[in-house]
Amino acid sequence: MASTSALTMLVSLMGTRLDSATLRKATGMTTELARAGTWLLCHDTGASSTALLARMLGASPDEATFRHPHDPSDFGRCHRLLESVPEWRTRLPEMAACSAYWAALVDRWDEITALLALDRKACHALMRSILNPIEDADQSIIRLGKDVTMRWS
């Protein structure tokens, strides 16, 4: 678990491009946290990968703010975060507490990961087959068309 001061330091560095060695030296962060910070600073981020980062750093699950990957691009950003900090891969089941969407994706993470590298169209189809039934049951979701939804809060 990261300390509050380390998280504050990490947030203050957002927008600054640093390599992991410089980041570790500047902040005194652990290797794990330094790799997470380097990933964050590389700007290969999105709502779902940032949610994954926040949960791994100890944030409490909140369905409203813990966005899930919607497509292979979103999933790829989450995957690259886990490649940057492989220790977090074993903690991925913690994301299931964030929402039914995360729970369903975590259950099939390895299958989605395998398709991501092989066939993005097949990966997208698999993700939609996982997410569509949850969206259909979610009363805050309005389906506007194939793979197009709107969330009402």
Whether the pLDDT of residue 60 is over 80: the answer is yes
Does this model's pTM top 0.85? My answer is no
Region of residue 28 (left: phi > 0; alpha: psi -120 to 50; beta: else): left
Q: Could you tell me which of 28, 65, 22 has the C-alpha nearest to residue 41?
A: 22
CA atoms of 10 and 50, how far apart (whole Å)? 13
Instruction: Convert the pLDDT of each residue in 80-106 to its tens digit.
Output: 999 999 999 999 999 999 999 999 999
Whether the pLDDT of residue 49 is over 80: the answer is yes
